[in-house]
Amino acid sequence: MRVGIVTATYLPSRNGVATSTALFARGLRERGHDVRLFAPRHPQVTGPEEGVYRLNSSFAGARALGAPADYPVMLAPGPLLTARLPLRDLDVLHTMHPFLAGGLAMKWARLSGAPVVYTAHTQYDQYLHYAPMPERVGRAVLRPHVSAFARRVSAVLAPGQAMVDMLRAYGYGGPVELFPNPVDLAAFRAAEGAAFRAQFHVGPETPLVVSLGRLAPEKNLEVMLRAFDQARASRPELRLLVVGDGPSRAALQALAPEGVTFTGPIPYARVPEALAAADAFLTASTSEVLPMSMIEALASGTPLVAARSPAALDLITEGENGTVREPTPEALAGGLLDTLAPARLPALQRGARTSAARYDLPVRAQALEAVYERVVKKGVGRGL
């Protein structure tokens, strides 16, 4: 098949949508499909990229909308650029975004007669505080727009139950298929964490907790730090590495208790060794959908200690690959101590690896291929 993926974010931007999109493209290509990615231009990309078509973008627009620093906002291409894009022979289009990228996918579907698949990735209500408008106004505009977009496409996918619940709350009542993100299990299973520990002066026998992701208000990171501090009161040898960057980094560093090190951002190629270095992965976020970092932690054999959220409940089988606790410092500290107990940790590590198998890239790419085949067989999208 000739597949067109229209995305508002792509590598080298660092976020779950960009990473999962790149993995799916790779997995589909390995299955013999012609995958064409249409993504915003990024200043760190200077050379040609096979199968990637960069559209004009704006970092000023990104800042105005409160987007992350490495998340340029895509601009609509004019007729001359559109005419040069390989669109007319596409068999299926796929987008993760109901706004401009989704609008382009619907417009380009009319050129090719291809159906459109939409993966709902983002709980937009959780990010309205970044928008340059009152949250009440943003919510009133956002919800009907997302619902209307979902009704126009041929298939709606959601990586976790949180997104199904969001779509229902937005007023969309149509079919939604749960469709988890992929992970390259081979890369994570082969990783070793000794060098990463040594770089940040963590001994090989020291119990190490890792948090990995964007450092932003919606991640509930103050609660995570307090939870670690409470756990460390019982086990003073504990260490926490906070891996990532974001607008909350400076404030969090000022609050950080003893035993916490902020590594800053790391290249994605080093994420497997960061997670392999850990004995447990800690998150207090309740805004996650089905975060790549949590799936990657499982693939590394690192059990999860997570605040209660639909994503945590999707991923964690209590006592097998981690634990779900209430989003309070006391509850998370208790979960962390239980997980790190020497008598329990080895079994949880084995369970983490086992539970990651269903997210392996070849498995998820084959499943996505089946979705595409189904919508192509049915014909074009309802709104075309």
For residue range 69-116, what is the model confidence (pLDDT) as tens digits? 567 889 999 999 999 999 999 999 999 999 999 999 999 999 999 999
CA distance 26 to 31: 9
Contact 207, 239 (CB under 8 A): yes
Place of tokens 């989003």: 327
Nearest to 10 by CA among 38, 51, 43, 50: 38
Contact 35, 67 (CB under 8 A): no
pLDDT per position as a tens digit, 227-266: 999 999 999 999 999 999 999 999 999 999 999 999 999 9
- Taking the mean position of all CA atoms in its chain, how far away is CA 190? 22
Strand order in 260-264's β-sheet?
Answer: 260-264, 239-243, 208-212, 280-283, 304-307, 322-325
Strands (E), 284-361: 304-307, 322-325
Contact 104, 378 (CB under 8 A): no
CA distance 94 to 154: 10
- Altogether, the residues listed in the chain come to a count of 384
Name residues of the chain where pLDDT drops below 50. Answer: 381-384
Which one-letter DSSP state was computed for residue 320? T
β-bridge pairing 57-58 and 73-74: antiparallel
β-bridge pairing 92-95 and 73-74: unpaired
Q: What is the pLDDT of residue 381?
A: 46
Which one-letter DSSP state was computed for residue 331? H
Q: What is the pLDDT of residue 383?
A: 45
Contacts of 113 (CB under 8 A, 6+ apart): 380, 384
DSSP 166-178: HHHHHT--S--EE
Q: What is the pLDDT of residue 120?
A: 96
Q: What is the pLDDT of residue 339?
A: 98
Nearest to 248 by CA among 129, 357, 161, 149: 129
CA distance 196 to 13: 22
DSSP 102-121: HHHHHHHHHHHT--EEEE--
pTM higher than 0.85:
yes
Q: What is the pLDDT of residue 60?
A: 72
CA distance 147 to 117: 14
Q: What is the pLDDT of residue 126?
A: 63
β-bridge pairing 322-325 and 304-307: parallel
CB-count burial class (<10 Å; 0-12, 13-18, 19+) for 100: middle
CA distance 191 to 300: 8
Q: Report the 10 Å Cβ neighbour count for 149.
A: 24
